[in-house]
Structure 1
Amino acid sequence: MKMLFGRTRGLTSKPFHYCPGCTHGIIHRLTAEALVELGVLEQTVGVCPVGCAVFAYEYFNCDMIEAAHGRAPAVATGVKRVLPDRTVFTYQGDGDLAAIGTAEIVHAAARGEKITTIFVNNAVYGMTGGQMAPTTLLGQKTTTTPLGRRAEEAGYPLRVAELLATIEGAAYVARVAVNSPKHVLQAKKAIRRAFEVQLAGLGFALVEVLSTCPTNWGLSPVEALKWVEERMIPYYPLGEFKVPQEEKTNA
């Protein structure tokens, strides 16, 4: 019997540890599929974050390195410069990338490092107990903002894709979501494109993925998908914010 759908060889057989309804698993699969389809899985090195995806080295079927909190871009930079023939990616959450690791990601983009970053934005610190993250929305309740985030106290949510798109060394920056089949297909396309930019040697590439956290949001998995659509996407619009200069020239 012909198999129409199966587990990608880009992932190991290790069951995911993520909470029910969390979309990290979807993002893992899309990333792994892109690496397989591009024929680079065997020459890929991934860098894990500190956060919910801290055990990503058990799931991706390629060489993986664990980085200190927020330092994945620095580790990836070292790997890529020493082994320029490798495909190198970081997989990071909003606490890891947009809080303690803000300087790392900004300067990796500014240097135009030829790496790919998959940035998972679920608007909360997932692993450590649901505290406010740099991406937590105004009014959103967390364990450290029980009455909702207020701009007067905590500032405004950080739009990472828009920020990095202003940096000259960034070649490709996009924001996608995985809360519906349509959005999953769009996310797959953007993630693959980000790796293609690296393979072409064009510079730094990042895909921000709006993800769910039903446990810390206090919602059911279905309600969490709706929350992404109704609350996150209006503040974090989807689309490509930066494309390679040569594509603009040929357009």
Structure 2
Amino acid sequence: MDVKEIIKPENQVYGKTELLTDNVMHYCPGCTHGVVHKLMAELIDEMGLQEKAIGVAPVGCAVFAYNYIDIDWQEAAHGRAPAVATGIVRINPEKFVFTYQGDGDLASIGAAEIIHACNRGENILVVFINNGIYGMTGGQMAPTTIERMVTSTTPCGRDTELNGYPLKMTDLVAQLPGTSYVTRQSAQSAPAVRKCKRALKKGIKNVLDKKGTSFVEVVSTCNSGWKMTPVKANEWMEENMFPFYPLGDMKDSEKDKPVSNN
């Protein structure tokens, strides 16, 4: 049966941008990826960027992003999306280029690529989905797994004496001179989704204005990897991840500009 026959327009709470395809997403019910995909599709459509946008997705849960947002995409090796995006935007400076990466990808095998791309100030938007685990490969501990968080490889919870400390990537890149806008958001409620969309839009505008790297982290759930219902996963995220990963802007080159006396 055609998806259009199942999801009828009159039953939708709000309309779906045509840039979001009718392909049924492979994400688990309750996954944050689908929400952020929708936001990116809406913004690219609303800002008239379909012909200019090039997304780069590496290995991870978002590896099939090209199935869902109708723009040009480039696949990258695990962790190498910032390096691939660097090549694309330097050859095509008129394009809007963004990476879409999970925490197991960006903060682990891709840590060098993201740090150096941000330090150089490559004119790209980085969308960073942080759910605290390796969601695609079985729920193992990731660099972002918080202390005492249970994963398939830390069944008694992350022990900092044994496993080291969680890595706050967004805090790190905010210190680099090449970043123009760095923020941490979420998408577990309607108000949070609206804030997240505003942050993504600001990041896109900064890229279009060639201000350097914009970095938007979205603290997210992985209810299947966390072995929770979607509702419980949202509650657990708010109670446990938000205190360690507080939401809000960390760097905004516009707000940080000194006021001229002239």
TM-score normalised according to structure 2 size: 0.92
Tell me how far 1:208 sits from its aligned partner.
0.1
Please name the residue that 1:210 is paired with.
Answer: 219
Gaps of 5+ in 1: none
Structure of higher CA gyration radius: 2
Matching residue of 1:32: 41
Unaligned segments of structure 2, at least 5 residues? 1-8
In 1, the alpha carbon distance for the partners of 2:192 and 2:237 equals 11
Alpha-carbon distance change, 179 to 250 in structure 1, aligned in 2, over 3 angstroms: farther
The equivalent of 1:220 in structure 2 is 229
Aligned equivalents of 1:9, 1:114: Cα separation in 2: 27
- Distance in structure 2 (CA, Å) of the matches to 1:132 and 1:158: 12
CA shift for structure 1 position 4: 7.5
Shift of 1:34: 1.4
Partners of 1:7 and 1:245 lie apart in 2 by: 32
Q: Does 1:56 align with 2:70?
A: no
Partner of 1:70: 79
Superposed displacement of residue 249, structure 1 = 3.1
CA RMSD of aligned residues (A): 1.7
Measure, in 2, the Cα distance between the counterparts of 1:167 and 1:105. 11
Q: Which residue of 1 aligns with 2:105?
A: 96
**8 Å contact 1:179–1:228 — kept in the other structure?**
no
Aligned-partner SS, 1:28: helix
For the 8 Å contact 1:34–1:192, the answer to whether it is kept is: yes
Deviation at 1:245, TM superposition (A): 4.8
Structure 1 CA distance, aligned partners of 2:252 and 2:87?
25
Between 9-18 and 105-114, the greater mean CA deviation after superposition: 9-18
Question: Matched residues in 1 for 2:259 and 2:17: separation?
Answer: 34
Instruction: Give CA deviations for 1:20-48 in whole Å, capped at 9, x if unaligned.
Output: 11111001011111111221122100001
- Answer with 7-16 or 65-74: which moved more: 7-16
Give distance in 2, aligned partners of 1:16 and 1:4: 19
Distance 1:6 1:249 in 2: 42
Matches within 5 A, 1:130-169: 130-169=139-178
State which drifts further: 33-42 or 161-170: 33-42
Structure 1 residue 222 displacement after superposition? 0.4
- How far residue 153 of structure 1 moved from its aligned partner, in angstroms, is 1.0
Q: What one-letter code is carried by the residue in structure 2 that aligns with 1:41? A: Q
Q: Whole-Å Cα distance in 2 between the matches of residues 244 and 68 of structure 1?
A: 31
The residue number in structure 1 matching 2:6 is: none
1:40 aligned partner, one-letter code: L
SS in 1 for 2:257: helix
Query: Out of 190, 205, 209, which is 2:199 matched to?
Result: 190
Aligned pair partner of 2:130 in 93, 112, 121: 121
CA contact (8 A) 1:124 1:131 kept: yes
Aligned CA distance change for structure 1 residues 195 and 250 (closer, same or farther; 3 Å): farther
Query: Following TM superposition, where does structure 1 have runs of at least 4 consecutive aligned residues deviating by more than 4 angstroms?
Result: 1-4
* Cα distance in 1 for residues equivalent to 2:37 and 2:258: 33
Other-structure match for 1:22: 31
The count of corresponding residues between Structure 1 and Structure 2 is: 251
- Report the Cα distance in structure 1 between the residues aligned to 2:14 and 2:222, rounded to whole angstroms: 26
Identical positions, percent: 51
TM (normalized to structure 1)? 0.96
Letter of the 2:31 counterpart = C
Aligned to 2:182: 173
**2:249 corresponding residue in structure 1:** 240
